[in-house]
Amino acid sequence: MAQVFDRSSNALARFSLVLTGVIVIALGVTLDQLQRSPWVTRQGQRPDQPIPFSHKHHVEGLGLQCQYCHTQVEKAAYAGIPPTKTCINCHAQIWTNAELLEPVRQSWATGASIQWIRVHDLPDYVYFNHEIHVNKGIGCASCHGRVDEMPLMYQQNTLQMEWCLNCHRNPAVNLRPTSEIYNMAWAGPSSERPVWCTSTVTGGATAQNVSCTTMNPSGKGPEVAMLQMNTEANGPTSSDVPPLGITMPASYQKFTSQMDLGKYLTAQYHIRNPEQLSSCETCHR
């Protein structure tokens, strides 16, 4: 019987099989890349805002604190976007005629809020909360980057599950004293720049009972090494009662590496273990 296919068609069939395989893999890789690409994650994009508000000018230039505008960040899940009133506090006097600020004046006159476009936006099925992160020693810059250097706001990180888990599996490398939460330039302790910490409560402490300093407490004489404690640490006081000053000797521990500081703060802040922090129920409820 005459051969219908010659020898070369065999090779061709094999070749096309391999080729199909390669195409399928390439497609898979491309889709995977696409899912992680800035186009999907919105990383680095600067949306067209109604007003080109500059964090660089207002934070670095004018020295405004984050909480001045994002008043809820320590107390609620949402940090919040400031109302027009916050801008008017200054812009009733400064730059009053600037074209750029027309939407602010418009909003103030009509009472309709400024339609800012969200830069960060997690899917609804993910639970996220600012309060716990901020009160457990994660700085704004760890998640949002150097906001003080952003002329226009953008999303520094992917905000994908992998990114969240990366920190939840090892939070110690990112923990800092709560007094440094708003410090955009915080770099952690080193042997040239150590950090000293002390706790006013042994056992059952919250982050607020830990106080840290970047200045050698023993170098400033015994008085300063004494820790000022007021009754607020033990319970609520009404603001018209002056805090009762109790001075007690504080023993500071010195840290020269993020690893040691991270371990200490993990214990002091009662950070849950990595298994608990990466369990699905933590973020999907």
- Find, among 232, 228, 250, the residue nearest to 241 by Cα: 232
Minimum CB distance to ligand HEC, residue 209 (Å): 15
CA angle 24, 27, 30 (to 5 degrees): 150
Minimum CB distance to ligand HEC, residue 245 (Å): 29
CB 231, CB 237: distance < 8 Å? yes
Minimum CB distance to ligand HEC, residue 233 (Å): 20
Minimum CB distance to ligand HEC, residue 179 (Å): 12
Minimum CB distance to ligand HEC, residue 260 (Å): 17
CB 250, CB 217: distance < 8 Å? yes
Residue number, 49 or 237, with CB nearest to ligand HEC: 49
Using a 10 angstrom Cβ sphere, with 0-12 exposed, 13-18 middle and 19 or more buried, the burial of residue 97 is exposed
Residue number, 81 or 244, with CB nearest to ligand HEC: 81
Residue number, 91 or 254, with CB nearest to ligand HEC: 91
Residue number, 139 or 189, with CB nearest to ligand HEC: 139
Residue number, 134 or 212, with CB nearest to ligand HEC: 134
Scan for tokens 């889709």, then name that residue. Answer: 31
Residue number, 1 or 280, with CB nearest to ligand HEC: 280
- Residue 242 falls in which region: left (phi positive, over 0), alpha (psi -120 to 50) or beta: beta
Structure tokens, 152: 């226009």
Q: How far apart are CA 44 and CA 37, in angstroms?
A: 11
Residue number, 203 or 222, with CB nearest to ligand HEC: 203
Minimum CB distance to ligand HEC, residue 98 (Å): 6
Q: How far apart are CA 201 and CA 204, in angstroms?
A: 7
Minimum CB distance to ligand HEC, residue 197 (Å): 17
Residue number, 15 or 128, with CB nearest to ligand HEC: 128
CB 135, CB 74: distance < 8 Å? yes
Q: How far apart are CA 277 and CA 153, in angstroms?
A: 29
CA 133 to chain centre: 8
Minimum CB distance to ligand HEC, residue 64 (Å): 4
CB 163, CB 42: distance < 8 Å? no
Structure tokens, 283: 């973020």
